[in-house]
Copies of this chain bind each other. A is one copy, B any other.
């Protein structure tokens, strides 16, 4: 069984529970809230919660709502991100606001946000002590606030052409790294892990999360549209400052740089011009640069697991780090 199948098996444990959290009295509301929940997704974050819990010797049956919680939080950020990025499709399906409009899209996102906290407080029923639950809740709140900080940074970067590589890394750490970090920490906290274990697993998650984001940027540029589930090159037309774009802008000079700048963030360019921009990003060595960054982050992540005792869960996490580098979807 490859790592992806192992994750799918874990993810299956939480699917029915996920749907419960869309169960509002009003059918119209239920339909809207359920849409992004059942629209698929890799369920990487809930798997991280469960694997971290197992890795510290905890009982995952008790903490399933916590796994649901981080996925609901993630889903909320996607619903709002899609509105902010004006993306009409996600995972090959229409986004919430594409169906029901931006106004309802905003409040559907807000509802998922509430449900994320509801799920985490529901852990009380498992008999886990309140102090431990509050520790986990504080991590979720912290992650949440960092994600929004990262999102704002990302948006402010769009207007700038002088973003540095380390600013980008700081932004994706917040926007993507932090929630995977939080997922592992929450799993380790609720599984009664030691401080070293909680921190080690957390940092593993942070690095994996950042690698995940950079790999997303790579796939969004040179991936297969069908596998990725969103239009290839949309980052170029949206003017997103991905690591690839930043590296190119910092390395191209004169007329070449100007040419790239004209293409970036230009929603009216056709397939031909999109291909020119894509080729420039590849030829400037920026795609290669991003791939190297992914590899380095995954190596750093694996080292963090030295504090964790050997187990199936630990092995799965190590395999996942390797998989990050190779994933095509």
Interface set of A (CB-CB < 8 Å, partner B) = 24-26, 28-29, 32, 80, 83-84, 102-104, 106-111, 113-115, 117-118, 121, 124, 129-131, 133-134, 137-138, 141-142, 144-145, 148-149, 151-153, 155-156
Tell me whether chain A's interface is mostly helix, strand or loop, or mixed: helix
CA distance A24 to B145 in the complex (A): 9
Q: Is the CB of A152 within 8 A of B84?
A: no
Contact partners of A131 in chain B: CB under 8 A:
130
Copies in the complex: 2
Q: Given the interface contacts A29-B149, A29-B152, A114-B145, does A106 sit within 8 Å of B133 by beta carbon?
A: no
5 chain-A/chain-B pairs, Cβ below 8 angstroms: A102-B102, A107-B152, A111-B149, A114-B148, A134-B134
Contact partners of A80 in chain B: CB under 8 A:
106-107, 110
Contact partners of A106 in chain B: CB under 8 A:
80, 83-84, 106, 109
Which 5 residue pairs of A and B lie closest in terms of their CB atoms, listed nearest first? A130-B130, A114-B145, A84-B103, A114-B144, A111-B148
Q: Is the CB of A118 within 8 A of B133?
A: no
A146 closest partner in B (C-beta): B114
Q: Is the CB of A141 within 8 A of B118?
A: yes
Taking the closest CB of chain B, its distance from the CB of A58, in whole angstroms, is 19
Q: Is the CB of A141 within 8 A of B153?
A: no
A113 closest partner in B (C-beta): B113
CA distance A133 to B24 in the complex (A): 26
Taking the closest CB of chain B, its distance from the CB of A111, in whole angstroms, is 4
Contact partners of A153 in chain B: CB under 8 A:
26
Q: A25-B149, A111-B152 are in contact. List 12 more A-B contacts (CB 8 A).
A: A26-B152, A107-B155, A108-B152, A110-B113, A111-B149, A113-B144, A115-B145, A117-B137, A117-B144, A118-B141, A134-B134, A137-B137
Q: Is the CB of A84 within 8 A of B107?
A: yes
A141 closest partner in B (C-beta): B117
